[in-house]
Amino acid sequence: MPALNMGHSNDNETWKIIEEELSRPTIFKSRESLAPEYIPDKLPHREKEIKLLASAFKHLIISPGSFSQRVLLVGGVGVGKTVTARVFGREFARIARLKGYNLRYVHVNCHRNRTLYNVVAEIARQLEVPLPQRGLSVKEMYDAILWHLEENNIYAIITLDEFHYFASIAGSDAVYFIVRTYDDAIASLKRLNFIFISLDTSKLSLLDPSTESYLLKHMIRLKPYTSSELYDILKYRAKQAFYPGVVDDEVLKFIAEYEGSDKGGGGNARHAIEILLLAGDAAEHEGSDRVTIEHVRKAISKTSREIINISETILYSPLHELMILLAIIRLLRRTGQTYVKMGDVEREYEMVCEEFDQQPRRHTQVYGYIMNLKKANVIDARTSGKGLRGRTTLISIHYGPLDLLEQYVVDLIQKKISMKQSGRRR
Looking at per-residue confidence, does 310 or 353 come out higher?
A: 353
Task: Sketch out the chain's domains with CATH numbers.
Answer: 24-38+225-303 (1.10.8.60), 47-221 (3.40.50.300), 313-413 (1.10.10.10)
pLDDT value, residue 208:
66
Of 206-210, 269-273, 371-375, give the lowest mean pLDDT range: 206-210
**Residue 3 predicted with pLDDT over 50:** no
Would you say residue 39 has pLDDT above 90? Answer: yes
Average pLDDT of every residue of the chain: 88
Backbone angles phi, psi at 309, to 5 degrees: -65, -40
Q: Which of 246, 187, 232 is nearest to 68 (CA)?
A: 187
With a cut of 90, say whether residue 134 has pLDDT above it.
no
pLDDT attached to residue 171:
85
Cα 255 to Cα 31, 242, 246, 291, distances in angstroms:
18, 16, 15, 12
Question: What is the reported pLDDT for 88?
Answer: 98
pLDDT of residue 212: 72
Q: Which pLDDT belongs to residue 144? A: 94
Helices assigned H by DSSP within 245-341: 249-259, 269-286, 293-302, 305-314, 319-335
CA-derived radius of gyration, the chain: 25
Give the three-class secondary structure for 100: coil
Query: Distance (Å, rounded) from C-alpha 396 to C-alpha 21?
Result: 43
pLDDT value for 300: 86
Cα(192)–Cα(157) distance, integer angstroms = 6
Q: What is the mean pLDDT of residues 28-40?
A: 93
How far is residue 322's CA from residue 255's CA, in Å, rounded to a whole number? Answer: 31
| Helix pair 269-286, 305-314: axis angle to 10 deg | 100
pLDDT for the residue numbered 205: 65
Rounded to whole angstroms, how far apart are CA atoms 194 and 57? 10
Mean pLDDT of all residues in 205-224: 79
Question: Does 5 have pLDDT greater than 60?
Answer: no
Q: What pLDDT is attached to residue 12? A: 82
- Could you tell me the strand order of the sheet in which 155-161 lies? 103-109, 155-161, 192-198, 70-74, 219-221
- pLDDT tens sequence across 140-180: 999 999 999 999 999 999 999 999 889 888 888 898 888 87
pLDDT at 1: 41
Bigger pLDDT: 126 or 135? 126
The counts of H helices and E strands in the chain are 18, 8
Q: Which pLDDT band, with edges at 50, 70 and 90, does 203 fall under?
A: low
Judged against a pLDDT cut of 70, whether residue 403 lies above it is answered with yes
Query: Could you tell me the pLDDT band of residue 133, with boundaries at 50, 70 and 90?
Result: confident
H/E stretch holding 221 reads strand 219-221
Report how far apart, in Å, the C-alpha atoms of 337 and of each of 325, 328, 407 are. 16, 11, 20
222 vs 225: CA distance, rounded Å? 9
- Contact 221/75 with Cβ under 8 angstroms? yes
Q: Specify the long-range contacts of residues 143-147, CB closer than 8 Å, at least 24 apart.
A: 145/120, 145/192, 146/185, 146/187, 146/191, 146/192
Higher pLDDT residue, 8 or 126?
Answer: 126
Average pLDDT estimate for 113-127: 95
Strands 70-74 and 192-198: parallel
Strand order across the 340-341 sheet: 340-341, 393-396, 380-383
Query: How big is the CA angle at 178 (ends 177 and 183), to the nearest 5 degrees?
Result: 80
Percent of the chain with pLDDT over 90: 62
Which candidate, 135, 83, 82, 132, places its Cα nearest to that of 110? 82
- Best CA proximity match to 196, nearest among 92, 95, 50, 81: 81
Evaluate if residue 10 carries a pLDDT over 70. no
Percent pLDDT > 70 in the chain is: 92
Distance (Å, rounded) from C-alpha 27 to C-alpha 32?
Answer: 13
Query: What are the tens digits of pLDDT across the range 45-99?
Result: 999 999 999 999 999 999 998 988 999 999 999 999 999 999 999 999 999 999 9
Cα–chain center distance at 268: 14
Among 318, 325, 323, residue whose Cα is nearest residue 358? 323
Identify the pLDDT of residue 426: 52
Q: What is the pLDDT of residues 253-290, one digit of tens each?
A: 999 999 999 988 889 999 999 999 999 999 999 999 99
pLDDT mean over 310-327: 91
Choose among 366, 375, 374, 333: nearest CA to 347.
Answer: 366
